[in-house]
Structure 1
Amino acid sequence: MNLAGQFSLVNSVPWLLGLGLLGLLNSSDLGSSALAQSSAQENEPNVLFRNVSLSPGFRPDPSKLHGLSGGAITASTKAGKATTETGPCNGFVDDRPDHELTLSSAFNYLNLRVRSTGDTMLLVKGPGGSWCNDNAAATPTATTTNINPAISGRWLPGTYQVWIGSKQQGEYLPYVLEITQSPVPIQP
């Protein structure tokens, strides 16, 4: 299902409506999509499955990427383990990553968080290993969780493959992946 940046939301409205994803079209995030891989994509802010390159101090912050979660492969198979330091690898992903995130240098703090109306998971593979998260804590010290995953901390320079998975196999949910340098609490 991963279309790897091959279509624009504007050109795929009938396809999205056919999947019952009208809610994605009404999202307030659609008009504020952030960084583009190339100048051509900067003029198409609603491209799904976009790849980005970031340097410390990037703007806008948060940067936002869009896509559809899910796939047919278990996230634990793709990660090479059932649990990571950041959480369990529960759910299903595509064979190919939804996004590639290239960091030009180290980040002392970077947060990737997913916003979706359904139960999603996050898998990141890159320099230093694989990390998963199923349900992020509402705040760094909270004991309650929500269905939106997040992975944060110190990040090494290099290219990271990012998958957004769904709890159920074959379930495809619209999402916004927010990338921020600000250590802000995760909101449900």
Structure 2
Amino acid sequence: MKYCRPRLNFRGGWLLAVLTAITTTPVIAETPNFSTFSLAPDFEQIKGKVTGYTGGSFSLSALSNRDRDRKACIGFADPKPDHIMILEKDFSHLKILVNSRGFDTTLLIQGPNDNIIRCGDDTGKSKDASIDDLDWKKGTYRIWVGTFNAGVKRNYTITVKQ
């Protein structure tokens, strides 16, 4: 009797390898569109200020329909986060404000280990988005700034305040 080794079919094997590499890459290794910044205790206002621009057509609701407080996550942005914010300690309160000179922006922040989502839209009478929340744990946060309509390009500044 002749022994036959089974043949392994590697067609598409490269796809499996690429998908495995993508899905096992840690979040911290992700490169944001604009900036990575760290905030230590008693950070200076200037360190909590970053800039960028909107313009994507990826629906932020694909990341989450609602945040931890059941607020709707809306808007369109790039699939890649615009900024990465690293908190070097726990913060009891932070306020993240978008300033696009009053254009209609949205905001989605994904917290450490991807399991805390915060979303923001209009701030008072302004169409600019903000998130004012308690209990920010030490770790890495991914930030997306979007617009209500897909593909709209708007320059913005984000300010983080304690």
Structure-2 residue corresponding to 1:148: 128
Q: TM-score, normalised by structure 1?
A: 0.62
Of 16, 28, 38, 1:53 maps to: 38
Tell me, yes or no, if structure 1 residue 98 matches structure 2 residue 82.
Answer: yes
The residue type equivalent to 2:91 in the other structure is F
Change (3 A) 1:105 1:146: same
> What residue number does 1:136 align with?
123
In 1, distance between residues paired with 2:35 and 2:47?
15
| Superposition deviation, residue 125 in structure 1 | 0.2
RCO comparison, higher one (Cα < 8 Å, 6+): 2
Q: Work out the CA distance in 1 between the residues paired with 2:70 and 2:105.
A: 15
Matches of 1:83 and 1:50, distance apart in 2: 23
What are structure 1's unaligned runs of at least 5 residues? 6-48, 138-144, 182-188
Q: Is the 8 A contact 2:106 2:147 kept in 1?
A: yes
Could you state the TM-score of these two structures normalised by the residue count of structure 2?
Answer: 0.72
Structure 2 vs 1, CA of residues 54 and 64 (structure 1 numbering), >3 Å: closer, same or farther? same
Aligned to 1:64: 49
Larger Rg: 2
What is aligned with 1:180?
161
Distance, in Å, in 1 between the alignment partners of 2:145 and 2:137 is 21
Letter in 2 for 1:125: Q
Structure number with the higher strand fraction is 2
Deviating runs (4+, > 6 A) in structure 1?
none
State how many pairs are aligned.
128
Cα distance change on mapping 1:100 and 1:76 into 2, 3 Å: same
Query: Which among 111, 122, 127 is matched to residue 95 of structure 2?
Result: 111
The DSSP-based 3-state class of the residue aligned with 1:112 is strand
Q: Please report the RMSD computed on the Cα atoms of aligned residues, expressed in angstroms.
A: 2.0
